[in-house]
Structure 1
Amino acid sequence: MDAPKSHAIAVAQGVAVIDDVDQNLATLDGLVASAAEQGADVVVTPELFATGYAPDRAWKHDGAAIRVALAAIARSHGIGLVASSVDTVGPAHHISASFFSPEGEELSRVHKRHLFGGVEQEYMTPAAAYGEPVNWNGTSWGVGICYDVEFPEFARSLSVAGADILLVPTAVPRVEEGIEGLGDAWHYSATQISTLQVPARALENGVVIAYANQCGPGFTGRSCIATPFGHNAVLLSDGPGVSVAQVRTEAIARSRIINSYLFDLGSQS
């Protein structure tokens, strides 16, 4: 019988500058270095950080060259790295996320399935399906991007396929909207994705979710690591930072006994 696994997972958030790839990669390198210094085995970084989040411009940069640079960052710090770039396939541009090993090997690259807003939908092409989990360091990992996690089908699909931990780069715009005269119960804040929606996805699917956001003007920050018990083990503020959570696979397994959603879904279908 295999011994239980433990992983130190980090989320990193920072401020990116649109079109300044060199500066953004330098910022990313500093964040990854901080995660490695804190003992992380793997770190998740924000969506389209290397180019800055501007889908109408990000595709103009060399995504392949950016991925070479990202692999070098993972290798230089000896840490697993999840980072986002544009993957151009023929005429199609995809928002992608790559999972690099500590040796700089690209273990997985997935495309964003659910595009957010008119600009993404105009300039990017959605994936036809969610990515498949990848086995690394004795655990099954799934990767998605930003808006994907806001749909129940994403976490359910990956968990049914065997994923234990989901790694999600994101770039959530700041939104505060309410209905006048109806009180707080009728107010929406985009910070609820981190504080409510991501922990709910983790709970209902028996998975850990590491969700790394951009911060600074126009973004919510609040990167988080949610446990399958429906709580955030890590929740950053709205400024730059890195934080690490210890994840034990035996605790994930126990959560699926307490809340047997996945087993009951399969046994009653």
Structure 2
Amino acid sequence: MPTLRLALHQGPAGVPRTAEDGLAALDDAARAAAAGGARLLVTPELSLTGYALGDGVDGRAETADGPSARAVSRIAAAHGIAVVYGYPERDPDSGALHNSAALVGADGRVLAGYRKTHLYGDYETGHFTPGDRLLVQADLEGVRTGLLICYDVEFPEAVRAHALAGTELLVVPTALMRPYDFVAETVLPARAWENQLYVAYADRAGREGDFDFAGLSCLAAPDGSVPARAGRDEALLVADVDTALLHASRARNTYLTDRRAALYTT
């Protein structure tokens, strides 16, 4: 059964002044992750632009196939590593802005794109339109990989929907703020355990404007362990998603097969 080595990039702190600055930071992280043997790099929510853009988010938004997307594809292919990155997406038809994440393969091909479905706080609800497609998945080197963004993972229904749809690795770019450390420390491992999947959670670090980010990025495993955990500062974590452990854990901990769905109401 395949093992997928991934890297979680916590950072960089602050808002990149230009699109080129954000891409340069991603390029540095991809180079370091690939040197560490990772096949997937996971970056935080809105990693290309920074989170605290305020009304400036409109000017930094791009379409899903815009110049930054093409640059990320070149970075992924140059370093031979798949990349999950966050960015403000402009819908080319409606003009609506979405808080989005994309998964690009190691050959530079776009494998999946996701628009955040659960918006958090006045900033997000005031600037973004929520997505309407919850289940976004792709096969990455034999591992069924799904995407959510930050607040989405705090809704148990969202993660359970992924588990029932066969997601083995749930990738969650995030911008978790203090004082909500318990989400990273307690909720994430619980989600991995109760749904019997891996959760890769990459947070921002430091302060941006009024936002003070928690850090504490982690990889949570289906057996209740946390193979990798960051502190508060910028960091690059490397850890393995072991599908043999995943399937053994699912055989022992049969939450998904023991469900009595007919008894549950929404």
Indicate if the aligned counterparts of 2:61 and 2:97 stay in contact, CA closer than 8 A.
no
Residue equivalent to 2:213: 219
Instruction: Report the Cα distance in structure 1 between the residues aligned to 2:84 and 2:127, rounded to whole angstroms.
Output: 23
Cα deviation per residue 1:117-162 (whole Å; 9 max; x = unaligned)? 0110011011123133212211211011111111101111111111
Instruction: Report the Cα distance in structure 1 between the residues aligned to 2:16 and 2:128, rounded to whole angstroms.
Output: 17
Cα deviation per residue 1:1-20 (whole Å; 9 max; x = unaligned)? xxx11110111111132543
Q: Kindly state the Cα deviation for residue 169 of structure 1 after the two structures are TM-superposed.
A: 0.6
Asked whether 1:134 is paired with 2:124, we answer no
Instruction: Report the Cα distance in structure 2 between the residues aligned to 1:109 and 1:137, rounded to whole angstroms.
Output: 18
Please give the secondary structure, in 1, of the residue aligned with 2:227: strand
The 1:265–1:59 alpha-carbon spacing in structure 2 relative to 1, beyond 3 Å, is farther
Q: Kindly state the Cα deviation for residue 168 of structure 1 after the two structures are TM-superposed.
A: 0.8
Instruction: Report the Cα distance in structure 2 between the residues aligned to 1:240 and 1:251, rounded to whole angstroms.
Output: 29
Q: Kindly state the Cα deviation for residue 91 of structure 1 after the two structures are TM-superposed.
A: 2.5
Asked whether 1:253 is paired with 2:247, we answer yes
Instruction: Report the Cα distance in structure 2 between the residues aligned to 1:20 and 1:210, rounded to whole angstroms.
Output: 27
Aligned residue type for 1:137: E
Asked whether 1:108 is paired with 2:107, we answer no
| Aligned match for 2:35, one of 34, 37, 62 | 37
Residue equivalent to 2:90: 88
Residue equivalent to 1:58: 57
Residue equivalent to 1:201: 191
Aligned residue type for 1:130: L
Structure 2 regions of 5+ residues with no counterpart? none
| Aligned match for 2:233, one of 228, 235, 239 | 239
Indicate if the aligned counterparts of 1:18 and 1:53 stay in contact, CA closer than 8 A.
no
Residue equivalent to 1:183: none
* Structure 1 runs (4+) greater than 4 angstroms displaced: 266-269
| Aligned match for 1:210, one of 200, 213, 216 | 200
TM-score between the two structures when normalised by the length of structure 1: 0.89
Cα deviation per residue 1:194-235 (whole Å; 9 max; x = unaligned)? 111111000000000111011012111111000001221100
Aligned CA RMSD, in angstroms, stands at 1.5
Instruction: Report the Cα distance in structure 1 between the residues aligned to 2:181 and 2:136, rounded to whole angstroms.
Output: 28
Instruction: Report the Cα distance in structure 2 between the residues aligned to 1:193 and 1:66, rounded to whole angstroms.
Output: 31
Identity of aligned residues (%): 35
Instruction: Report the Cα distance in structure 2 between the residues aligned to 1:98 and 1:165, rounded to whole angstroms.
Output: 15
Residue equivalent to 1:8: 5
Instruction: Report the Cα distance in structure 2 between the residues aligned to 1:132 and 1:108, rounded to whole angstroms.
Output: 7
Asked whether 1:162 is paired with 2:161, we answer no
Residue equivalent to 2:20: 22
Instruction: Report the Cα distance in structure 1 between the residues aligned to 2:151 and 2:201, rounded to whole angstroms.
Output: 11
Asked whether 1:172 is paired with 2:176, we answer yes
TM-score between the two structures when normalised by the length of structure 2: 0.90
Aligned residue type for 2:125: Q
Residue equivalent to 1:180: none
Instruction: Report the Cα distance in structure 1 between the residues aligned to 2:136 and 2:84, rounded to whole angstroms.
Output: 15
